Amino acid sequence: MSEKVMVTGVTGYIGQHCGAELLRQGYQVVGTVRSMEKANTVREGISKVAPIENLTFVEADLMSDEGWSEAMAGCKYVLHVASPFIIANPEDENEMISPAVDGTLRVLSAAKTAGVQRVVVTSSLIAIIAGKLSGHYGTDSWSDPDADIGTYAKSKTLAEQAAWEFAKANDIDLVVINPGGVMGPTLTGKVEGESLTMISDIITGKYPLVPDISVGFIDVRDVAKLHVAAMTADGAVGKRFIASSDEPLHFKEVTGILKNAGYKKASTRQAPKFLLKIMSLFDDQVKGLLPMVGERQTVANQETYQILGWDPTPMKQSLIETAESIS
């Protein structure tokens, strides 16, 4: 019998691709959903790219203890992908921080009880570089949750720190993946989440100007492959892996690729910083982007290549296929 893997947040953009990659590689997949009403949508999406006879679902909520230990019974590995992702700062930061931190600890605690062999947690590059000046950063770098880095960055940083502390105290084999900006086709065809919304807004002309922001990107299918590789790779336990391009891509390059691919409404005109500051007074999403304006960070991702065997999908291909999947 094939090994069983739990994927939390299997309804999400990354979670669906993780489920699909596991199924392609012959694993049994147990996906957590907050409501079984979402199961059919996920099943239909994954069926486009992977066999689904070994895909099952369980109801489990990051904010409740109920059901987690039972759902993990028999699972050898857990991919903890579920976490809120919103650039705009919510009125109450705990709306985002509590599910991220408490949910991560809840999953790790259940994994310990169930005797899971290894847990792979999805963090973010933002837990490494948020609020940092231009420069070169590696896995020893941490964002400062006490600085003004935005609620999303704070939630990812605190959740990852809590995961490492819990894993160390409870002797859990933990691996963390820190993706940059995630692109690539959606399996549902729906515009859901910040990445897909951004591409949709670009190709429909919602952004007449683009910010002076450079982001390290990665294809969602590569993120999934790295999660699966991290489950079994020798030398992976106890490490963070930066899943992001060697060099960041400027937003003008992103919109330029899409414009040249036939999405003529994509703008390559850059917004001056003073205008973004004014807009941030009225737009929480712009406010969330402000700390990134004008900065350009490169990353040390060598171990992602060496230990997890990363073979990056070209970002031009990824961006075009993202647009095609939602247009």
Backbone angles phi, psi at 141, to 5 degrees: -90, 140
Tell me, yes or no, whether 230 lies in a domain. Answer: yes
Q: What is the pLDDT of residue 90?
A: 59
Neighbours of 278 (CB within 10 A): 12
- Residues 226/49/52/58 CA torsion (nearest 10 deg): 60
Tell me, yes or no, whether 94 lies in a domain. Answer: yes
In angstroms, the CA 236 to CA 113 distance is 22
The distance from CA 273 to its chain's CA centroid, rounded to whole angstroms, is: 27
Cβ pair 109, 71 in contact under 8 A = no
Neighbours of 133 (CB within 10 A): 9
Bridge pairing between strands 249-250 and 214-215:
antiparallel
Cβ pair 72, 78 in contact under 8 A = yes
Backbone angles phi, psi at 269, to 5 degrees: -85, 130
Q: What is the pLDDT of residue 84?
A: 58
Half-sphere exposure for 231 (CA within 13 Å, toward CB): 24
In angstroms, the CA 60 to CA 114 distance is 15
Please choose, from the candidates 134, 126, 254, the residue with its C-alpha nearest in 3D space to the C-alpha of residue 180.
Answer: 126
Distance separating the N- and C-terminal Cα atoms of the chain: 40
Enclosing domain of residue 145: 4-184+217-250+298-314
* Long-range Cβ pairs for the range 126-129 (8 Å, 24+): 126/152, 126/153, 126/156, 126/157, 127/153, 127/156, 127/157, 127/160, 127/178, 128/178, 128/240, 128/242, 128/299, 129/297, 129/299
DSSP E strands, 54-129: 55-59, 77-80, 118-122
The domain that holds 38 is classified in CATH as 3.40.50.720
Listed in sequence order, the DSSP H helices in 138-272 are 151-170, 193-203, 220-232, 251-260
Bridge pairing between strands 135-137 and 181-183:
unpaired
In angstroms, the CA 191 to CA 123 distance is 22
Q: What is the pLDDT of residue 282?
A: 67
Domain count for the chain: 1
Tell me, yes or no, whether 211 lies in a domain. Answer: no
Tell me, yes or no, whether 309 lies in a domain. Answer: yes
Tell me, yes or no, whether 293 lies in a domain. Answer: no
Cβ pair 20, 11 in contact under 8 A = no
**0.85 exceeded by pTM:** yes
Cβ pair 28, 4 in contact under 8 A = yes
Q: What is the pLDDT of residue 290?
A: 67
Tell me, yes or no, whether 255 lies in a domain. Answer: no
pLDDT tens for the 327 residues of the chain, in order:
589 999 999 999 999 999 999 999 999 999 999 889 989 999 999 999 999 999 999 999 888 888 888 889 999 999 999 875 555 555 667 777 888 899 999 999 999 999 999 999 999 999 999 888 889 999 999 999 998 888 888 999 999 999 999 999 999 999 999 999 999 999 988 878 788 898 999 999 998 888 888 889 999 999 999 999 999 999 999 999 999 998 899 999 999 999 999 999 999 998 777 776 776 666 666 666 666 776 789 999 999 999 999 999 999 999 999 999 998
Residues with a known catalytic role: 156
C-alpha distances (whole Å) from 283 to each of 87, 89, 126, 155, 272 are 11, 10, 21, 20, 16
Q: What is the pLDDT of residue 63?
A: 86
Tell me, yes or no, whether 303 lies in a domain. Answer: yes
Tell me, yes or no, whether 269 lies in a domain. Answer: no
Give the torsion sign (CA, 179, 165, 59, 64): negative
For residue 46, what is the enclosing H or E element? helix 39-47
142: its two tokens: 């941490």
